[in-house]
Structure 1
Amino acid sequence: MNLPNRITISRICLIPVMMVFLLVDFKFYPEPITWNSFELPYNQLIAVIIFILAASTDGIDGYLARKNNLVTNLGKLLDPLADKLLITAVLVSLVEMGKCDSWIAVVIISREFAVTGLRQIALLDGAVVAASKWGKVKTVIQIVAIVAILINNFPFEMIGLPFDDIAIWAAALITIYSGIDYFVKNKKLLQLSNV
C-alpha cells in the first residue's frame, strides 16, 4: 500500500478516536480551560486537534498521489469516503452534544450522498465528475464552521459575535448551492443514463 493511501486510512482511523473524545464523559479530565467567560473542556480541545489533523491530511494525500504518480483505484475510493465519514461523524457528534441543529447536519450529509450518487452514475457512463470550485469552498467553510463550534466560538465569544452560528449557516447554504451547481452542470449525465 502506498503512502497516500496510508494517510487516507489514518484519517479514517482518527474518526472514532475523535468521536470518543467528543462523546465519552471521562471523569479524569482536569478542569476546563477558562479565560474570562470562555470555557473549553479538554476533551473538546483534543477532539478539535484530531479533527484539524484529519482534515489537513485530505490535501496531503491527494497532493502526494498526484505528484508521485501514485493514484490508485483504492485511493479514488477511500479519499472521498474518508472525507464524508469525517464530516458526517463530527456533525452527528455535534448534534448529539447539542451544538448543531440536526437539520443542518441532515442538509450537509444529504448533499454529500447526492453528489456521491451523481458521481456513481457518471462512472457507469464512463465519465468523471470533477470537483468544482464551489465544492472546495464548501469543504473549507464546513471545516471552519466545525472548528469554531468545537472551540466554543473562541475568540469571538469574548466580544459577543456568534461566528460559529454564522459559519455553520454559511456552510449549510454553500453546501446547498454547491450541490445544486453539481447537478446543473452535470444534468446531461442524468438524461443520458436513463435515470
Structure 2
Amino acid sequence: MTNGLQRATAALTSDERILWSGVPDASVLLSPVDVLLIPFSLLWTGFAVFWEYTALAQSKAPGFFPFFGGVFVAIGLYFVFFRFVVGNYRRRTTSYVLTNRRAIVVGARTLRSVSVDPNTLSTSWSRDSRRVSVNFGFQQGQTIRGVFGRSTLSMSAMTGPFTGWDPLNLNPTPIVFQDVVDPAGLEGALAELAAG
C-alpha cells in the first residue's frame, strides 16, 4: 500500500489532494462472475483434453493436431487453475487513491486514473456488506444486475483485473475500486467529493 500511495502522490497535480486511500480485500478468491467462468473453463478444458487425447490416439491424425490441441489444453489449464494465481497477485499489488479530482488505481506496474464524475459513478456492496466496489467508468444505466445478492457487475466483469481472465491485462477495465475493505472511509471521501 505504501508504495502505491507514494506512486500516486508523485503523480498528483499541484491542485490535487488525497481524500482517501485503500486496498482491495486480498482474501477474496471468487467473484460472482465465476459462476459463469468456472463452468465455461471446465468445458473448454475438458473438450481440449478430449481433442488432445483423440489426436494422440489416432495414428492417421495430421501432425499438427496434437500441437493445436496442446495449445488449447494449456489455455484451459490457465483458465481452470492459474488465473486465480494472477488474480490473487493483482489483489495483493493493487491500491486505490481518491483525490479531489481523480480516482487512481495503482497496480504492480501500472497507474491508471479517471476524472471523477458523479454521473458515471455506481456503487455495489458484497452480500455481507463488509466490502464495497465503486465503478468510476460506466454510466449507471450500463451496469447489469449481479448473480448474488446486491452485487452489481460492470459490463467489463468478464475481463476484470481480479478474475485473472486477461493474464496480460491487454484489455484494461474501467476504473473500479473493487472489494474495498474500508467502505465507511471510502463513502465518507465520496460524500466529501460530492459536496465539493
Larger radius of gyration: 2
Q: Which has the higher strand share?
A: 2
| TM-score calculated relative to the size of structure 2 | 0.26
| TM-score calculated relative to the size of structure 1 | 0.26
Q: Which has the higher helix share?
A: 1
